[in-house]
Amino acid sequence: MHHPVYVFRHGETVWNAEKRAQGFLDSPLTETGRAQARAMGRALAHELRQAGHAPADVVVRASPLGRVRETLALAAEEAGLAHHEGSFDDRLREMSWGEWDGLTGPEIEARWPGAMAARRLDRWTYEPPGGENYIAASARARAALDDIAALAMERPVAVFAHGGIGRVLRGLFLRVPEAEILDMDQPQDAFYRLHRDTAARIVSHGAD
């Protein structure tokens, strides 16, 4: 890739605050989440100025889920990014928890006793009922990343996605072992610049 790829997670949502699994389901951003989205947009604008890129040059790719659409709209307004319906890519949706989507940990444990403990023992391959494991998520993330990398040969790319699928994208880019991917952070007040085999964490607080 000749140009950087910026990878964002959506801002805090109501279900994040309630510690509910979201997966393919959705909840709106909290006021904190909306502030995070705006701050990330300002930080991206600063990054682009420093690198000499015009916002109009940036290609946007994003998950179509509502919490990402809301984050993108706020961040794009701050950064001056252009996006349209063709910017959304189903492959960038969050990993599905299947029947666990929308539930808290205690609710999952009550309905599927021992399932959460089983998942903690093998997080990469464990598949929630009706959901995805990291193997399946990595396959679609790899396909999306290949297309994003091709775009980045010509222009910078801003990717707006989720915690789980975002760290898979970063891990695949860095070619790190599965265990390292699982230990990567999932910030909502920072984003990552992927470029030249490195991933730089960019904190959005105080960006001008």
pLDDT class for 182, splitting at 50, 70, 90? very high
The 10s digit of each residue's pLDDT in 56-101 is: 999 999 999 999 999 999 999 999 999 999 999 999 999 999 999 9
* pLDDT at position 183: 95
Pick the catalytic residue from 47, 70, 94, 132: 94
Q: What confidence tens digit (pLDDT) does each residue in 97-124 have?
A: 999 999 999 999 999 999 999 999 999 9
Task: Check: CB of residue 144 under 8 Å from CB of residue 64.
Answer: no
Answer whether residue 129 shows pLDDT above 50: yes
Concerning whether 46 is annotated as a catalytic residue, the answer is no
Give, in words, the CATH class of 5-203.
alpha beta
Q: How far is CA 74 from CA 37, 55, 68, 81, 129, in A?
A: 6, 15, 10, 10, 34
pLDDT of residue 124: 96
For the chain, the average pLDDT equals: 96
Is residue 208's pLDDT more than 70?
Answer: no
The pTM of this model reads 0.95
Is 10 catalytic? The answer is yes
Percent of the chain with pLDDT strictly greater than 90: 97
pLDDT-derived band at 204, boundaries 50, 70, 90: confident
Q: Would you list the domain boundaries of the chain?
A: 5-203
Identify whether the C-beta of residue 160 lies closer than 8 Å to the C-beta of residue 169. no
- Does an H or E element contain 161, and which? strand 157-161
| Per annotation, catalytic residue among 3, 10, 162, 195 | 10
Q: What is the mean pLDDT of residues 168-189?
A: 96
